[in-house]
Structure 1
């Protein structure tokens, strides 16, 4: 096993068509994430999944026990792979992720998943702040249109803004094909 880990964040049914928070480009992002995961498995890199779940059983999104909270079949974990449940955008907050990575001797992480403007951003920044060499694979991530102060921001601009900020100070941002090469 290497000192690199793939952190698969929230690629869950909730974000796909039929879910309550469908993301723009999630199918393409999940296909790329599946390629990254398969590559990691072939090179014996550590793969860990984060699964967002609400703490409220009546929550409108990520309801515990619902089909929507399940990890999407396109990126289904193997029985030998770890799945950590999280309740916050930052995958390190109250999940034991740091302790798990440290126990595995990990010093470099690759972040993929959803949503670019929330959990990918928070997780990538936290990983960098915790001292991990951090890489985000931008085409294995997806987001949604946002609105602020009556201004609608299309998903591609939201995504590009987040990736630009991550690349500026929090690590490397590359494509799936660049990573696999």
Structure 2
């Protein structure tokens, strides 16, 4: 596991039922992310959190300084765990995420978070482009229903299509139980 870091993306309060932009399955995905987070901490792996902020009070969600922009307490950063604040969909764009990961000695990433079809997708593809090995914890990610051209696409279909596309792009897709099980096995 040397060289592996956990990257948790945008599991923020506005995505929960009481928030401004609730996602389908966010509570279950966050519980899975918490399981992964606890396993990574127990293994002594680097953990990096990403939090999206919008400067405009007119933004639909993640307005800087609001409770909705805070990372959900279920996956709250521990002392010493870096939090990358981003203002773009891609967590690597305009941030020091790559430098933080390199400083931590990461060559491989385990990614969890939200929204699957936006920020998780962008960070996964950017990480692959930058040469990281990427494992996406598919059951620790959430999205929402979408619509295009008069076709309603339920979140489960958005999730399946996105995960299939990311696997095709080179990411490894695994459930949290397998990932955390690997970490608890003696080597």
TM over 0.5: yes
Helix, strand or coil: the match of 1:117? helix
Aligned positions, number: 181
Aligned-partner Cα distance in 1 for 2:22–2:171 = 27
Aligned-partner Cα distance in 2 for 1:85–1:170 = 26
> Which deviates further from its counterpart, 60-69 or 137-146?
60-69
1:10 aligns to 2:10 (yes or no): yes
- Deviation of 1:58 (Å): 3.2
Check the 8 A contact 1:2/1:44 in 2, yes or no.
Answer: no
1:56 aligns to 2:56 (yes or no): yes
Task: State the match for 2:30 in structure 1.
Answer: 30
Structure 1: give runs of 5+ residues left out of the alignment.
Answer: none
- Deviation of 1:3 (Å): 1.1
Deviation track 1:16-56 (CA, whole Å, cap 9, x = no partner) reads 01111100000000000000000000111100000000132
Aligned-partner Cα distance in 2 for 1:87–1:20 = 18
Helix, strand or coil: the match of 1:99? helix
Aligned-partner Cα distance in 1 for 2:109–2:65 = 29
1:179 aligns to 2:179 (yes or no): yes
Deviation track 1:157-179 (CA, whole Å, cap 9, x = no partner) reads 00000000111122100101111
Aligned-partner Cα distance in 1 for 2:42–2:61 = 34
- Deviation of 1:71 (Å): 0.3
1:82 aligns to 2:79 (yes or no): no
Helix, strand or coil: the match of 1:64? coil
Deviation track 1:53-109 (CA, whole Å, cap 9, x = no partner) reads 013233231111001000001101101111110111111111100011111211000
Task: State the match for 2:168 in structure 1.
Answer: 168
Aligned-partner Cα distance in 2 for 1:75–1:27 = 11
Task: State the match for 2:92 in structure 1.
Answer: 92
TM-score, length-scaled by structure 2: 0.94
Q: RMSD of aligned C-alpha atoms?
A: 1.1
Helix, strand or coil: the match of 1:180? helix
Check the 8 A contact 1:136/1:172 in 2, yes or no.
Answer: yes
Could you list the structure 1 runs, at least 4 aligned residues long, displaced by more than 4 angstroms after superposition.
Answer: none
Aligned-partner Cα distance in 1 for 2:58–2:121 = 27
